[in-house]
Structure 1
Amino acid sequence: MEKIQIEIGDVVRMKKPHPCGSHEWEITRVGMDIGLICKGCGHFVMMPRVKFNRMVREKL
C-alpha cells in the first residue's frame, strides 16, 4: 500500500471505527506521532506514525 501524504487539517478514514461509531478523523499534529481528533465525538488521540500508516484507509 502506498503512503498517504498528510497535512494538518486533513480528514482521513480509518480501518476500525472509534467506539462512538465514526471512521473519520481530523489530523492535528504531524511528526513521529500523529495527533487525531475524532469527527464524531471530538476525542483526541496520539498514534505512532507506523501504526497510523497501517490503520489509515483513505484521505477524504
Structure 2
Amino acid sequence: MIESFDVGDVVRMKKQHPCGSYDWEIIRVGADVKIKCIGCGRIVMLPRSKFQKNAKKIYG
C-alpha cells in the first residue's frame, strides 16, 4: 500500500488501462485522487483508499 505521494508523481497501477498503459500521473490529491493516463490522456478520479490499494510503485 502506497503511503506518501504528491502532485506530479507518476504511479504504476496494478491493472492495465484499456489503452495499454500502466502508468498514471497524479493531478490532484485530497479525499479523492485525480490521475491522468500517460498513454491516452484520460483523467480519472478515485477515492484515496482505492488509489492507495491499487498503486504498485511511484516514479518520483
Output the TM-score relative to the length of structure 1. 0.93
| Root mean square deviation, CA, Å | 0.9
Runs of 4+ in 1 over 4 A off after TM superposition: none
CA distance in 2, matches of 1:4, 1:43: 24
Q: Name structure 2 gaps, 5 residues minimum.
A: none
Q: Give, as a single letter, the amino acid of the residue that structure 2 aligns with 1:34.
A: V
CA distance in 2, matches of 1:10, 1:44: 15
Q: Name structure 1 gaps, 5 residues minimum.
A: none
CA distance in 1, matches of 2:32, 2:52: 11
Percentage of identical aligned residues: 53
- Number of residue-to-residue matches in the alignment: 59
Output the TM-score relative to the length of structure 2. 0.93
